[in-house]
Chains A and B, each alone.
Chain A
Amino acid sequence: MTNVTAHARAATVRGLLRRPRTGSVAKVLMITPAMALFLTFYVAAVVFGIVLSLYSWNGLEPRHYVGLANYRQLFSDDPIFLTNVKITLLVVVACVATVLPLALLLAVCLAGRSRILPVFRSILFLPVIVPLAATALLWSEFFSPTADGVANRLLHVFGIGRVAWLGDTTAAPWALIMVSIWTLVGIHVVIQLSALSAIPTELKEAARLETPSTSRVFLHVILPLLRDSLTVSAALIVTGTFVFFTALAFIMTLGGPDHATEVLGLRAYLDGFDALNFGRASAVTVITMLITIVLVGFTLFVGSRRRVEY
């Protein structure tokens, strides 16, 4: 008897859930506000950027269609654009190559039972919370080119001479990369740390029974298990630096000296606001999007090969 009522109940539930009108109206209505905002203020901008990159437009007069001329101009007779691409790639590669190992090392150091370790974790996360404007202005003062600048005073302690820092074409990109690393490491330490602590203890114990070498356990057991979190971190660093570094360079150097820190995002900004060439600014944006997609796709591809699961 109870079985029958249960069946009836289940049938009613199924009927109610399948009732097409309320269900499908509700699911569409509930996603509409988010989707409308998302489509209008993100997807539309992406599409509009692609369209505008085919036009010549100074933002005031009517725009006219020029086909791929903006792109052709960027690639064939614009030596600065090649510098922009190179600097962007340098920044991304340098950030991924330093932040990932550093974050992993610090996460391994932070994993443990001691009461003091969370204090270190909080301190390492602090730069993530400092507002970007404050970070940029703080480091601008820090890298003051005079002999009284803090960075130069530190160098003096080690017996190294004065550096012009943000005024020097070689030093400037590296100074900004250092600032990026300072800001980015904390969040990736936290990501790796949580992946580390998610590894079952029995697994580590079992591995330790097999070999007494901690480094072999780390290389052959722990590291493969961190593949997913390392991949996510790498992808986040790639997309993050595109935005983050642009803002940093905007405040600290405005792309200078001599285009040495002019990454693609800044180039698009300067094309739009300084050169009033919104068509070319859009073309630069489209190329930036393609580079991001390729880089993130590559990261995810490398990260998903030979994935291990236990």
Chain B
Amino acid sequence: MADGEAVTYAPGRAETRMERPHRAAPPFVRELARYAILIVASAIALYPVLWLVAAAMKTQPEYIQNPTGLPHSINFTNFQTVLGNHVLLRYVLNSAIVVGCAVPIVTVTSAMAGYSLARLWGKAGGTAILFLFLFSEFVPIGIVAIPLLLTMQQLGIESGKVRLICVYSVLMMGFAVLVFRAFFRSVPEELREAARLDGCSEFGVFWRIMVPLARSPMTLIAVISFIALWNELFLAVVLLNDATDRTLPLGLTELRGTYSTDWPTLAAALLLSAVPTLVLYAVFQNKITSQLSRSTTRD
């Protein structure tokens, strides 16, 4: 996945300027319909988010009077209230710890597994193991949440944070192994052979040659996992039994009780909780969307 290749989305790129005159200009009506559909769909996608932003800037009386319109003034009092809430900050810290541990674990272990499946296991063995990993895509981990809790209890893992780190490491693994296997298959076999001839061990080949080459897919898997895990809710609900271990998404649903009569403040909290993923999405947008679509259509 070289940087140049990352831009899969380039419709019509192959068409050269020479071909254009052959094609009749699309009818005016068709273009009108296209933009009408897109504008309506975008409005529906965007409206709830904009409404959330507007609500977060209103005072409570203002919101009751005018829940849908624009705020009177840009004011950040609600955000200050939220940032002054120490309980919420602990939820943020918990999320940071859990996700911060799980993301490197899933990235590194999946990269090793993907490389091993792509180059060291034969075709039959590699495919069989890959299918085992992919089984979790058919029966998602969320479905087995309850048995997972009972397994944790059997294993004697009591700490909520450790439980979540373990499960979150596995949550994105099927997808990650699939992506890494596809990537390492695209790396020329000769690289490995040459390094082996020079006396490099299999591990040496992986750490010194493959990992530096795989920086781009590793970043992507880390980013996509971060977004998915930072937002994960249901497994946290089932697996955590200690209020002090609550992650941010779970904490937000608890805040609903605290601010039940104060929607603007809750709206501010919801917006702040989305900041990390929104920033990551803004930075990696094209890479994320192209990777998501590529790994589903290929292989």
| Interface pair A27/B121, CB less than 8 Å apart | yes
Judged by a CB distance under 8 angstroms, whether A243 is at the interface is yes
Complex CA distance for A134 and B120, rounded to whole angstroms:
44
Measured CB to CB, the nearest residue on chain B to A239 is: B140
Instruction: Determine, out of B6-14, B70-78, B79-87, B214-222, the stretch whose residues face the partner at the interface.
Output: B6-14
A13 to B198, CA, bound (A): 10
Residue pair A112, B139 in contact (C-beta under 8 Å): no
**Contact, CB under 8 Å: A148 / B67:** yes
Nearest Cβ on chain B to A31's Cβ, whole angstroms: 5
- B296 engages A201 (CB within 8 Å): no
Cβ-defined contact, A112 with B37, below 8 A = no
**Chain B residue, CB-CB nearest to A281:** B146
Binds B, one of A38-46, A70-78, A92-100, A159-167: A38-46
Interface residues of B in 97-111 (CB under 8 A from A): 105, 108-110
Q: Judge whether A196 is part of the interface by a CB distance below 8 angstroms.
A: yes
Cβ-defined partner of A46 (8 Å) among B9, B147, B234:
B147
Asked if B240 CB lies within 8 Å of chain A CBs, one says no
Contact residues in B for A134 (Cβ distance below 8 Å): 52, 252, 270-271, 273-274
Q: How far is the CA of A108 from the CA of B253 in the complex (A)?
A: 37
Q: Are A285 and B143 closer than 8 Å at their CB atoms?
A: yes
In the bound complex, how far is the Cα of B142 from the Cα of A128, in angstroms? 18
- Per-position binary interface string of chain B over residues 17-52, scored 1 when its CB falls under 8 Å from any chain A CB and 0 otherwise: 001001100000010001101100110111011011
Question: Chain A contact residues (Cβ within 8 angstroms of B): what range?
Answer: 35 or more
Q: Is the interface of A mostly helix, strand, loop or mixed?
A: helix
The answer to whether the Cβ of A37 comes within 8 Å of any Cβ in the partner chain is yes
Shortest CB distance A153–B (Å)? 6
**Docked pose: A113 CA to B133 CA in angstroms:** 38
Nearest B residue to A131 via CB reads B231
The answer to whether A193 has its CB under 8 Å from any CB of chain B is yes
* B contact residues around A289 at 8 Å (CB): 139, 143-144
CB–CB A129/B278 < 8 A: yes
B158 at the interface (CB under 8 A from A): no
Known: A22-B201, A229-B296. Is A201-B143 also a contact (CB below 8 A)? no
Task: Let me know if A22 and B202 touch, CB within 8 A.
Answer: yes
Shortest distance between the CB of B161 and any CB in chain A (Å): 14
Chain A, residues 10-43, CB within 8 Å of chain B (1/0): the string is: 0011001100001100110111011101101111
> How far does the alpha carbon of A173 sit from the alpha carbon of B141 in the complex, in Å?
24
Mask: chain A, 107-119; 1 = CB below 8 Å from B; 0 = not: 0011111000110
Within 8 A of A (CB), among B224-275: 227, 230-234, 237-238, 248-250, 252-253, 256, 263, 266-267, 270-271, 273-274
Q: Taking the complex as formed, is A142 at the interface, i.e. its CB lies under 8 A from any CB of chain B?
A: yes
Interface assignment of B149: CB less than 8 Å from any CB of chain A:
yes
Q: What number of residue pairs across chains A and B have CB atoms under 8 A from each other?
A: 306
Is A91 part of the binding interface, using a Cβ–Cβ cutoff of 8 Å? no
Chain B residues near A35 (CB-CB < 8 A) = 113, 129
Q: Taking the complex as formed, is B169 at the interface, i.e. its CB lies under 8 A from any CB of chain A? A: yes
Once the chains bind, are A42 and B197 in contact (CB under 8 Å)? no
- What are the interface flags for A223-245 relative to B under an 8 Å C-beta threshold, 1 for contact and 0 otherwise? 00000110011011001101100
Question: Which residues of B are found within 8 Å of A31, using beta-carbon distances?
Answer: 112-113, 116-117, 121, 129
Q: Report yes or no: A197 in contact with B34, Cβ–Cβ below 8 A.
A: no
Query: Which residues of the other chain, A, contact B141 by a CB distance below 8 angstroms?
Result: 42, 45
A145 within 8 Å of B by Cβ?
no
The answer to whether the Cβ of A256 comes within 8 Å of any Cβ in the partner chain is no
- Quick check: is A304 within 8 A (CB to CB) of the other chain? no
Known: A13-B196, A285-B146, A288-B143. A30 touches B113 (CB 8 A): yes
Find chain B residues with CB under 8 A from A105 CB: 37
Taking a contact as CB atoms closer than 8 A, the residue among B42, B237, B290 that contacts A123 in the complex is: B42
* Option from A33, A246, A288 in Cβ contact (under 8 Å) with B112: A33
- With a CB–CB cut-off of 8 A, which chain A residues contact B9? 118, 121, 193-194, 197
Give every chain A residue within 8 A of B11 (Cβ-Cβ).
Answer: 111-113, 193, 196-197
Given contacts A16-B197, A138-B270, A185-B41, 18 further A-B contacts (CB under 8 A): A26-B116, A31-B112, A33-B109, A43-B132, A113-B11, A123-B45, A129-B274, A131-B230, A134-B52, A142-B48, A190-B289, A190-B293, A194-B294, A197-B8, A200-B14, A229-B297, A282-B150, A296-B138
Q: Pick the 3 closest A-B CB pairs, nearest first.
A: A49-B147, A26-B202, A243-B142
Binding site for B on A (CB under 8 A): 9, 12-13, 16-17, 22-23, 26-27, 29-31, 33-35, 37-38, 40-46, 48-49, 52, 59, 105-106, 109-113, 117-118, 120-127, 129-134, 136-142, 148-150, 153, 182, 185-187, 190-191, 193-198, 200-201, 205, 208, 214, 228-229, 232-233, 235-236, 239-240, 242-243, 246-247, 250-251, 265, 268-269, 271-272, 278, 281-282, 285, 288-289, 292-293, 296
